[in-house]
Amino acid sequence: MDISRRDLFTMGGKLLILASVGATLEQITGSEEAPDSYKMADHWWGMIIDIGKCIGCGNCVRACSNENAVPAGYFRTWVERYQIEEGKENPRVDSPNGAIDGFPRATDEHLKSFFVPKLCNQCADSPCVQVCPVGATFVSPDGVVLVDETYCLGCRYCVQACPYGCRYLHPEKNTVDKCTLCYHRITKGLTTACCENCPTGARWLVDFKNPKDPVHEFLRRNKVQVLKPYMATKAKVYYKDLDGSVR
């Protein structure tokens, strides 16, 4: 059979059209599994804590321990009770067992006293990340400080570097563990375990990159502060009604 140059071109053209139609069909019908709808670039996570609403019940601590299987005696979040006497240099601070079972009753009504829930401040410029010698801890593209437990050596540099005392060495894994801002929940559309279980709404998860998040209105209308602002860590956990005595 003789094939002229013209035949060759038309045949090639037909083949090309067929192939492109096939490829387009595959794209439309989606023969492969739909990709994960969570886009890291669209989020920048943080938290708001309203000290005026915290009742020190310890629900957040219990929720965190249950959700993340935190070993007993270690805490990713905890609650401190401050009792400040006028004229005294140091406030009285207690947090019995991280407040996992609430607090024993404080009866001294004339002291200035309040509860301060604490957790990883998810610093954008985090000292713990800067000191890690092996790249085992990092700020994710959506602003959460995480630990790669397969890379962590357990050298504890980051435990010392954290100005907020938010890290600990996991007693069984011997790698560093910390609050992940419930990364496994927030990337699936849920809120964190602590925020889910706070009965008074004293803490809530916020997404600074979401223009519809009420956080923007909240930050406009309220006076907020981060912990240890002089450390310049760009912490993303904002406290409302924070007293100057809180460290």
Partner 1 sequence: MRRLIHEWGHLIRPALVLIAAMGLFLVLRAAVIPKDFGKYGHYRPGALDLVRSRPIRYAGQETCVMCHDDEAKTRAAGKHAHVACEACHGPLAQHAGDPASVTPKLPDVANLCRRCHEKDAAKPKDFPQVVTAEHSGGAACNSCHQPHNPHL
CB 44, min distance to partner 1, A? 14
Q: What is the 3-state secondary structure (H, E, C) of the chain?
A: CCCCHHHHHHHHHHHHHHHHHHHHHHHHHCCCCCCCCCCHHHCCEEEEEEHHHCCCCCHHHHHHHHHHCCCCCCCCEEEEEEEECCCCCCCEEECHHHHECECCCCCCCCCEEEEEEEECCCCCCCHHHHHCCCCCEEECCCCCEEECCCCCCCCCHHHHHCCCCCCEECCCCCCEECCCCCHHHHCCCCCCHHHHHCCCCCEEEEECCCCCCCHHHHHHHCCEECCCHHHCCCCCEEEECCCCCCC
Question: Least CB distance from residue 58 to partner 1, whole Å?
Answer: 6
What residues from 181 to 240 belong to the interface with partner 1 (CB under 8 A)?
Answer: 183-185, 187-188, 190-191, 193, 196-201
Q: In the bound complex, what is the minimum distance in angstroms from residue 237's beta carbon to partner 1?
A: 19
> Minimal distance in Å, beta carbon 163 to partner 1?
21
For the segment 34-73, give every residue that binds partner 1 (CB under 8 A): 40, 52-59, 63, 66-68
According to the binding rule CB under 8 A, does residue 29 interact with partner 1?
Answer: no
Residue number with CB closer to partner 1 (2 or 172): 172
Applying CB under 8 A, the span of 15-23, 70-78, 149-157, 220-228 interacting with partner 1 comes to 149-157
Residue 79 CB, shortest distance to partner 1, in Å, is 10
Residues that bind partner 1 (CB under 8 A): 40, 52-59, 63, 66-68, 81-83, 101-103, 105-109, 111, 113-115, 135-141, 146-151, 180, 183-185, 187-188, 190-191, 193, 196-201
